[in-house]
Amino acid sequence: MDTFAEPYTRAGDDISLSAVREHVRLLEERHKANGVHLSGRIIHVSHYLPLICTLTSSPTRDGVLSPPPTPPHVTSDVPPSPTDDLPPSPIVPSSPPHTPRWKLSPRYGHSAMTSGIRSLSETHEQLIVGWTGDILSPVLAPDGAESSPDGDVNPSTGERVPAPRDRIPSTRISLEDKAALEVDLSHYVDKNNLIPTAGTKPITYLPVWMEDNVAHGHYDGYCKQTLWPLFHYLLWQDVATEHASADANYEYYEQANQAFATRLASVLQPGDLVWVHDYHLLLVPRMLRNALHAGAVNGMGSENGGGDVIIGLFMHTPFPSSEVFRCLPRRKEILDGMLGANLVCFQTYSYTRHFTSTCVRVCGYETTSRVIQPPSANASRSGSLVRTKSRTLAGAEKFVGIDVQGHVATVTHCPVGVDAERVARDTLRPGIEPKLEALRTLYPDKKIIVGRDKLDVVKGVLQKLRAFEKLLHDYPEWQRKVVLIQVTSPALTDSPKLERQVSELVAHINGEYGSLDFIPVHHYHQTLRKDEFYALLSAADLGVITPLRDGMNTTSMEFVIAQERTKHSPLVLSEFMGISQHMSDALQVNPWDLGDVAAAMNRGLLMSPQEKTARHAALHKVVTTHTSHTWAAVLVKMLLSQINAQNTARQTPYIPREKLRDVYEKAGKRLFLFDYDGTLTPIVRTPSMALPSADALNALTKLTSDPSNIVYIVSGRDQAFLEEHLGHLPRLGMSAEHGGFIRSPDSAVWKDFTANLDMGWMEEVAEIFRYYTERTTGSHIEMKKSSITWHYRSTDPEWGQFQCRQCQDLLENNLVSKRPIEVLVGKKNLEVRPIAVNKGEIVKRILYQNPDAEFIFCAGDDKTDEDMFRALLLFPPSSTGKATMEPPLSVTLVDNSKEYSDVELAVSPDGVFTTAVGHSSKRTLASWHVTTPEEVVEHMLYLVGEVPQGEELKGYL
């Protein structure tokens, strides 16, 4: 990332919805013209379906009396936006040809996300995959008729929280019931949230079924007791019991995520766009990659050319700093799960910085940048599409990502908005005006400060009340002239302690500053109907929303829209909200600084009409421009931007095991070329600890024992290391220092390719490396005979990477143009070597000396191994004939005493297996891929009829 001052919204995303949709259309046209298959479908994966499912009749439930209750239900964590009336009205069926077994009604909460998703139906077919939630049973009156259930109404989401006897255990839901729900879902249209038009595309709802213990252990357990506190800068013991464990319920979290991934994989089609939503499903992207990888092995998935699925992950919550996140015991599993996506998107730029830093510091991954070409410059009817900081979208756009074994997960940000048009319509409801007048009558000649929050420790209600008390103390002129109306709704988990503290503080303030005829603080712990909510917002002289940490608080945006027709009152916002940078014209405060908050309240109450109008106009423009509809369209645009010719249209297929063995067995002579680090052994923090496993040694022993096989290790390691760990293997050839030295299988003598080269540059490079070593704690220099390498794996990850880039720039700008050298950026290292010495030249030498080889297997994992793959590009595309080879430099350089002629190679195109270790989307010249070093070893053992004896394979995909 280039700067710490990135805008809250990405440049070009704060434009009209029509312009964003036009950009999406142009991107899709470009991809289709380039041969990339797009299905036109978007699949959203969220924790809940946006529907409440009630089983009205079921043959399997006849005669069942009072089924046992499931574990207690805990409601949604996202701050509510009361954009619908209570109680919910049912979705109206479109005359299905059967009698519905299920009654479906809207599930409220997550209104901004749901609104954004539904808006995409204007342009795309959509599928929504989600958990059904607890299955409900209608409560029957004594006469047998269906009556109103006696469960409570959830103030946070606006839905009914069923009484325990209303819930049907998952074990009592039959296969027929499940099938009937899918049929009923296919016949329903949500007319409360989407007005169908002629061009509207369908939305399909796909339920995920889970056992009760898994569903509630996932949601009420790991999500709410571990992840949610962590993402809001709390630790699990702060919100659970004193014996809380951060690892409790992880097994349920994993099982639930696998259920979602399995359901998603069952409906995927080539060219689908997938959006996974929020922290409940952080393992799904990687699990879906696992499913796709299995499909590729079976001839499906990535072998379809451009038919790979593009996965996005959107985090609706904050993301904490690396020092907080690293406390999580399952930190690597969670991060790797997220990094299975092509695009990871957060609400703000600061959250992307925290995530990137966490991946670098906790997992040791490296950041990289990618340049994305937009549609053609003249694609917009009105000229350039959008203006950015220093260019238009007609130019290239740079994305920053995390490199995980060659798979690059792009990291970016895009804030959620509200459905501004709908909120504006809701503020015109006829029931609002009487309630507004009632509030004015109730508090005549008083300034009204309004707050509405969940009763949750991170919402800062206690701190807000103390700040209001300080306002009355520091600014006594406001005593008896201002009231605070604070509405709270139940939080994720019951907090009697916090509720007691709030009640005691309210009583204290009212006792200190109130009287028999005046109460300064009015606290209402209840739900609000839509009319009441908007009347309250409209009546306010000041809005105060000051959570200690929050993602996207939609109440602040609804406040701005509600004030458009009334007072244009100012807004006090916490700087720790995801929305704060987006709404810079609000009065932003540190909620912990009570004096600062009190001063902001005083300033807002005294603000002149002119300043109020100016600030409100700026905030209103922001809120009505970047809406939930724009947010959803921008997500699609960014996901489409990740598709390019090198990424999706060229997926490296997984190596076909049966074909590999078939060619191997038919070949008279075979050639094996292996890199070492990252290919036969995993990359480790201390290079000297990268020792070959028992399985790797067994594979090499079996291969070299066959006289038909020629086996070489082509490594960047020096001669001493290779001799120490592999020298005992008979008939194993070795090349050290990236081709600087070679030892034939039938010889103990090393040949030096650098003897005739000018190596005077090494001291100059060493001096530069020493300069950076002194200033980078934990780095060290490795001097070899043909190259010099600066390692920074043990340094601070971000500082080491920064220093590496600085050193690279210095070398390339001052030495490369003057000396016959090249600079290579490796995995946590920077290497300088002669231009004439590389792995590709050694591979050419080995192949030239063994032209009768009919089978070639070459495996490597990093940039230096691309030289090997390039050397083995022996045939033009679609060639079926034989290839000839000129004498390579690595042959003539060592022995120029005789003449060499071209040789004809016995190998055919189908006999060359260049194999990259890493993700299938890794940019490589190799024809095939495997995901881990263990899989390379496993394939070699398979060729010789052996099986691995170590740990089971753990591929990334």
Reported as a single tens digit per residue, the pLDDT across 639-653 is 988 886 334 435 688
With pLDDT > 70 as the criterion, what percentage of the chain qualifies? 81
Domain 421-626 matches domain 657-757+836-944 at the CATH topology level: yes
d(CA 486, CA 162): 27
Spatial CA neighbour of 323 closest among 235, 412, 413, 228:
235
| Least confident stretch, 57-61, 316-320, 908-912 | 57-61
- Residues 98-113 have a mean pLDDT of 78
Render pLDDT for 384-400 as a digit per residue (tens, 0 to 9).
333 333 333 444 567 78
- What the block records as the tokens of 482 is 């201002």
Q: Which CATH superfamily is domain 657-757+836-944 in?
A: HAD superfamily/HAD-like (3.40.50.1000)
* Sheet containing strand 135-136, strands side by side: 102-106, 51-55, 135-136, 167-168
- How many Cβ atoms sit within 10 Å of the Cβ of residue 295? 18
pLDDT of residue 8: 44
Place of tokens 């495996």: 859
How does the average pLDDT of the chain come out, rounded?
81
Banded model confidence at residue 150, pLDDT cuts 50, 70, 90: very low
- Residues 764-790 have a mean pLDDT of 89
The total number of residues written for the chain in this structure: 957
DSSP structure string for 31-43? HHHTT----SEEE
Render pLDDT for 726-736 as a digit per residue (tens, 0 to 9).
989 989 999 99
Residue 660, pLDDT > 90, answer: yes
Rounded to 5 degrees, what are φ and ψ at 854? Answer: -105, -5
pLDDT of residue 145: 46
CATH architecture of 421-626: 3-Layer(aba) Sandwich (3.40)
CA 655 from chain centre, in angstroms, equals 27
Q: Which residues contact 503 (CB under 8 A, 6 or more apart)?
A: 523
pLDDT of residue 835: 77
Calculate the alpha carbon distances from 665 to 246, 696, 709, 854 in Å: 52, 21, 11, 10
d(CA 774, CA 227): 40
Banded model confidence at residue 375, pLDDT cuts 50, 70, 90: low
Render pLDDT for 689-728 as a digit per residue (tens, 0 to 9).
888 999 999 999 999 999 999 999 999 888 889 999 998 9
Render pLDDT for 441-470 as a digit per residue (tens, 0 to 9).
888 889 999 999 888 888 899 999 999 999
No. of helices (H) and no. of strands (E), the chain: 28, 35
CB 204 within 8 A of CB 186: yes
Looking from the CA of 97 toward its CB, the CA atoms found within 13 Å total 0
- What the block records as the tokens of 608 is 């002149």
Banded model confidence at residue 760, pLDDT cuts 50, 70, 90: confident
d(CA 932, CA 917): 6
Amino acid at 5: A
d(CA 285, CA 287): 6
Sign (positive/negative) of CA torsion 573, 578, 581, 582?
A: negative
Identify any residues that bridge with 400 across adjacent strands, giving them in sequence order.
369, 411
CA 152 from chain centre, in angstroms, equals 35
- Residues 2-25 have a mean pLDDT of 63
Please state at what angle helix 530-539 crosses helix 432-442, rounded to 10 degrees. 50
Residue 953, pLDDT > 80, answer: no
- Residues 920-924 have a mean pLDDT of 78
pLDDT of residue 149: 42
Q: Which helix (H) or strand (E) holds 354?
A: helix 349-363
pLDDT of residue 406: 74
Residue 300, pLDDT > 60, answer: no
- Residues 780-800 have a mean pLDDT of 87
Q: Which residues contact 538 (CB under 8 A, 6 or more apart)?
A: 427, 432, 436, 562, 563, 565, 566, 567
Amino acid at 32: K
Long-range CB contacts (within 8 A, 24+) of 58-61: 58/101, 58/173, 58/174, 58/176, 58/177, 59/174, 59/176, 60/172, 60/174, 60/176, 60/177, 61/137, 61/168, 61/172
Burial of 884 by CB count in 10 Å (0-12 exposed, 13-18 middle, 19+ buried)?
exposed
pLDDT of residue 307: 41
Collapsing DSSP to helix, strand or coil, 386 comes out as: coil
pLDDT of residue 625: 87
Please determine, looking at this structure, whether the domain spanning 17-54+101-135+164-374+398-413 carries the CATH number 3.40.50.2000: yes
For the chain, the first-to-last Cα distance in angstroms comes to 26
Q: What's the predicted TM-score (pTM) here?
A: 0.76
Residue 945, pLDDT > 60, answer: yes
Residue with the larger pLDDT of the pair 351 and 551: 351
Residue with the larger pLDDT of the pair 241 and 230: 230
d(CA 529, CA 87): 9
Place of tokens 């966490």: 358
- Residues 854-858 have a mean pLDDT of 95
Banded model confidence at residue 202, pLDDT cuts 50, 70, 90: confident
Identify any residues that bridge with 161 across adjacent strands, giving them in sequence order.
152
d(CA 345, CA 312): 7
Banded model confidence at residue 680, pLDDT cuts 50, 70, 90: very high
d(CA 467, CA 419): 32
pLDDT of residue 69: 42
Domain ranges of the chain: 17-54+101-135+164-374+398-413, 421-626, 657-757+836-944, 764-776+787-831
Calculate the alpha carbon distances from 204 to 50, 124, 207, 829 in Å: 11, 12, 10, 49
**Nearest 10 degrees: Cα torsion 236, 241, 244, 250:** -80
CB 66 within 8 A of CB 155: no
Identify any residues that bridge with 369 across adjacent strands, giving them in sequence order.
400
d(CA 890, CA 739): 9
DSSP structure string for 243-299? T--TTTTHHHHHHHHHHHHHHHHHH--TT-EEEEESGGGTTHHHHHHHHHHHHHHTT
Residue 830, pLDDT > 70, answer: yes
Banded model confidence at residue 747, pLDDT cuts 50, 70, 90: confident
- Residues 757-766 have a mean pLDDT of 86
Banded model confidence at residue 219, pLDDT cuts 50, 70, 90: very high
Residue with the larger pLDDT of the pair 163 and 89: 163
CB 312 within 8 A of CB 635: yes
Spatial CA neighbour of 126 closest among 135, 110, 113:
113
